[in-house]
Each structure stands twice: as C-alpha cells, then as structure tokens.
C-alpha cells in the first residue's frame, strides 16, 4: 500500500497555538537532499530522509535512503541536546556533518567520504493511508469515538472503565476495592475469520506498552520508533514473528493497524494449519499470512506443547500501565 507523506510547513508550525504540540517538537521524519556526495548510492540518489528519535533527555539522528524499509544509515549521531528551540547536530558517525535541527527542518554541511556535502531537509508529517478509514456496510463497530458499550473489563466483566478523551479510549489500570488491577478490556463479541481496522496513539513518555489480542494471540503495541523491529517491538506477533519492517511513527502520532485474521483449521480434530495474521501497520505490510504457533503469552519451550482450539475469540486491548489511546475500531467478518 502506498504511504502518503504530508509536509508540515514552517509557517503552520509557527502559527499553531502551543497546546497543539502534544508530541515532541523534534522527533519524527524529515525529507530532502544531500548534495555533493560522490559515493554510492547518494551520488545518483541524493534524496534522503532524516530520522530524529527522542532518547531520554537527548536525541538520536540517522540519515536514511528510505523510511519503513530497513534502510542503511549513512551517518548517525546520539546524545544530541535541545537548547533554545533547536538541536546542534555534531559528532556524526559515518560523516563529518555539522548543523542544526529545528522543528521545521535540518540544515548541515561537512564531509562524506572525503567530499564536501550540503544537507537540507524539511519536516514531514507522515500519515497512514488508512487513517480515518470508515467501516464498510455490515461491519461490527467496536468503538465509534463515543460509545464504549461493546467492551468490558477483562478482569471481572464489569463495564469498560477506560477514559474517554477527544474521541479515543485511553487505557488505564482498573481500581477494585482501592487496589490496582489489570485494566485490559475485552470485546463482548467473539469472532472467527475477520478483517479489522483500529487506530492507536503512543503517549510521549513511557514505553507505550499495550497490545491487540485475538484470543490468546497478540499483535504488539509499543513505542518502537527508531528501533530495529524485533519480535517484541510494535507490530510483532509477540515473541514469534518480528515485523518485516519497522513501520512505527513517533509518539503522539496516530497510527493504524489493518489486520486480517484466519483461525486455525482442523480435520477431525487434527490441526492442519495454524491461525494466521496479515497485518498492515500504517499502510505497510509487516506480516503476510504469518502463523501464530501458540499462545503468545507462552515462552517458546512451553509453546511446543500448546494445543490450538476451534473457537471464535473476543478482541482484547491490553493495559500494561501506559495510557495508550485507541479509536475507530471496527471488524468485518470474512
């Protein structure tokens, strides 16, 4: 699926009121060109992307040929500090670049493989092509921005107690008799083969740990922006299959999952095929009919003995302590 890139112009940034900037002013993607490079591939393909990741109190920078593609990093820097509304870009590994990062763009110059280069990038606002996708006729709407009645607390079956804020459900622990309990919620309905759409937003602090469960099988939700994309990162079939690429956006950006689930198949009680997931994360296919070999809450050694069930399953949205937001959730039975 094609990824749409929307450029956030500097004038719009300057004019926006402060309260709109819930996400970090620097973290995200930048695009533009590096001119003067004489080595492959930049000599013939000068179009590049910058990625700025918040790392505690500092920032990391990478210069990439592409996003969502496991691209090589042509140069990188870490431990960069923000001061007076900008970040000084320096001490870059792989190239001797010096310049600055602002919320509007990146300007730098220096040397790459002995050749003088100029880097000019502008800020991007990357949006999933399925953001805001409407439920088709006949779909089961699990959350429309207002009504949480299709969900109950998984802990005790009580009504969903998550916060409702700006058209989103926000995860939080459950309080029972003054004690903190698991706040995971579960759909009232159960489903077999389906296509599902949902949108989620990782908070600006913490790990953003959550998950989308189909019965015992989890698609991980996590703050994985700028990470390699391991078997426990965002989009993974948890601890079984890492995403094909890391398609994560920065915290506080709305992201999408489009999931097609096919249940396990049996012949007279004998398992003939595992349940499978095809998953698009922000419009990028990260799983293609990948099997869930066992309950994702189990370790691999335990999973070897797992017996799949012939059953329809509810959907669960995990509470793991971080206030992750969800909206626009619907399922189309297949």
Domain ranges of the chain: 4-127, 140-333
Give the angle 150-151-152 at the CA atoms, nearest 5°: 135
Here the tokens at position 239 are: 């601890």
Per-residue confidence (pLDDT) for residue 110, from 0 to 100: 95
Kindly give, in sequence order, each residue whose CB lies less than 8 Å from that of residue 136, ignoring residues fewer than 6 positions away.
Answer: 332
Q: Is the link from the previous residue into 109 a cis peptide, with omega within 30 of 0?
A: no
Q: 210: burial class by Cβ within 10 Å (0-12, 13-18, 19+)?
A: buried
**What is the rounded distance in angstroms from the CA atom of residue 219 to the CA atom of residue 101?**
34
Q: Locate tokens 């950006």: which residue?
A: 253
pLDDT digits (tens, 9 = 90+) for 32-71: 999 999 999 999 999 999 999 999 999 999 999 999 999 9
Strand partners, 217: 214
Per-residue confidence (pLDDT) for residue 22, from 0 to 100: 61
Per-residue confidence (pLDDT) for residue 23, from 0 to 100: 79
CA nearest 10: which of 104, 108, 114?
104
Q: Which 3 state secondary structure label does DSSP give 39?
A: coil
Lowest mean pLDDT among 3-7, 34-38, 122-126: 3-7
CA nearest 131: which of 180, 197, 61, 206?
197
Per-residue confidence (pLDDT) for residue 177, from 0 to 100: 86
* pTM score, whole prediction: 0.91
Strand partners, 56: none
Can you tell me the mean pLDDT for 168-181? 92
**What is the rounded distance in angstroms from the CA atom of residue 228 to the CA atom of residue 218?**
19
pLDDT of 323 strictly over 70? yes
| Contact predicate 59/52, CB 8 Å | yes
Average pLDDT, the chain: 92
Per-residue confidence (pLDDT) for residue 206, from 0 to 100: 85
| Contact predicate 280/261, CB 8 Å | no
CA nearest 28: which of 233, 244, 225, 259?
225
Q: Locate tokens 């499978």: which residue?
A: 276
DSSP alpha helix (H) spans, 116-212: none
Complete DSSP assignment for 222-245: ---TTS---TTSTT-BTTTB--SS
Count CB atoms within 10 A of the CB of residue 93. 11
Q: Which 3 state secondary structure label does DSSP give 261?
A: strand
| Contact predicate 272/315, CB 8 Å | no
CATH 2.40.128 for domain 4-127, yes or no, is: yes
Q: 48: burial class by Cβ within 10 Å (0-12, 13-18, 19+)?
A: buried
The overall longest dimension of the chain from CA atoms, in Å, is 69
CATH 1.10.10.10 for domain 140-333, yes or no, is: no
Question: Strand 254-262 and strand 276-281: pairing?
Answer: antiparallel
pLDDT of 11 strictly over 60? no
pLDDT digits (tens, 9 = 90+) for 211-258: 999 999 999 999 999 999 999 999 999 999 999 999 999 999 999 999
Q: 92: burial class by Cβ within 10 Å (0-12, 13-18, 19+)?
A: buried
Here the tokens at position 110 are: 């220096």
Report the percent of the chain where pLDDT is more than 70: 93
Phi then psi dihedrals of residue 225, to 5 deg: -60, 125
């Amino acid at each position: 699926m094609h990824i749409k890139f929307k450029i956030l112009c500097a004038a719009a940034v300057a004019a926006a009121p402060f309260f709109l900037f819930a996400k970090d002013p620097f973290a995200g993607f930048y695009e533009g060109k590096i001119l003067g490079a004489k080595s492959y591939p930049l000599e013939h393909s000068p179009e590049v992307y910058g990625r700025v990741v918040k790392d505690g109190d500092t920032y990391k920078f990478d210069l990439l040929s592409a996003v969502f593609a496991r691209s090589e990093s042509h140069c990188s820097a870490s431990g960069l500090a923000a001061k007076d509304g900008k970040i000084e870009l320096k001490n870059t590994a792989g190239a001797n670049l010096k310049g600055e990062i602002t919320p509007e763009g990146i300007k730098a110059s220096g040397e790459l493989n002995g050749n003088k280069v100029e880097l000019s990038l502008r800020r991007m606002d990357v949006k999933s092509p399925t953001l805001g996708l409407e439920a088709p006729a006949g779909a089961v709407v699990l959350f429309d921005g207002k009504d949480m009645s299709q969900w109950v607390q998984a802990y005790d079956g009580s009504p969903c107690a998550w916060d409702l804020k700006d058209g989103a459900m926000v995860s939080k622990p459950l309080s029972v008799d003054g004690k903190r309990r698991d706040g995971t919620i579960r759909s009232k309905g159960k489903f077999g083969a389906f296509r599902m759409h949902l949108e989620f937003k990782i908070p600006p602090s913490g790990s953003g740990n959550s998950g989308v469960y189909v019965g015992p099988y989890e698609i991980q939700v996590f703050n994985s922006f700028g990470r390699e994309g391991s078997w426990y990162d965002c989009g993974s079939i948890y601890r079984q299959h890492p995403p094909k690429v890391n398609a994560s956006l920065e915290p506080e950006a709305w992201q999408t999952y489009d999931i097609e689930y096919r249940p396990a198949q049996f012949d007279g009680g004998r398992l003939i095929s595992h349940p499978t997931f095809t998953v698009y994360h922000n419009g990028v296919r990260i799983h293609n009919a990948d099997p869930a070999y066992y309950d994702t809450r189990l370790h691999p050694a335990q999973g070897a003995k797992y017996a799949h069930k012939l059953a329809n399953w509810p959907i669960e949205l995990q509470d793991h302590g971080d206030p992750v937001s969800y909206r626009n959730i619907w399922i189309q039975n297949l």
